Amino acid sequence: MKRWTRWQDWVAVAAGLYAALASIWTIPRTGATISLLIVLGVLMTAAGVWSLAAPGLVSMTWILAVLSALLFISPWVFGFAGDPGPAWTSWVCGGLGIIMGLWAIAPAEKVHHMTHGGGQLAHA
């Protein structure tokens, strides 16, 4: 698979960007909620872009899934599950990120094995 072509990563990047930028229009705007959405959204976006740039890096797809899971559970952990705007943003963007991150693992492993000798021992 070529760089910048895996659609799952593009969806995850879009979800991360949305989460990071949603604080502009999401109400209520509490400091902790805004910071959390921005930080986790930016980290999701960065992980997605890194995964797009290096499609054989399996660890980055796992990192994307874990960051997305953190975003998904953050309304309950940080106590803003009762605020529909930021909570739904976290749930939808985090859920999309989890699904896309896990969905991209198999293609990433395939690229990794193709670029690293198909699983053959290096010193055989």
- The model's pLDDT over 41-61, given as tens digits with 9 standing for 90+, comes to 999 999 999 999 998 899 999
Question: pTM for the full model?
Answer: 0.86
- The pLDDT of residue 25 is above 90: no
How high is the pLDDT of residue 2?
84
SS3 121: coil
Distances (CA, A) of 113 to 3, 15, 54, 124: 15, 28, 13, 17
Give ∠ CA 99-101-102 in degrees, rounded to 5.
Answer: 65
DSSP H stretches of helix in 1-124 = 7-21, 31-53, 58-77, 84-103, 105-115
Token code pair at residue 71: 């975003």
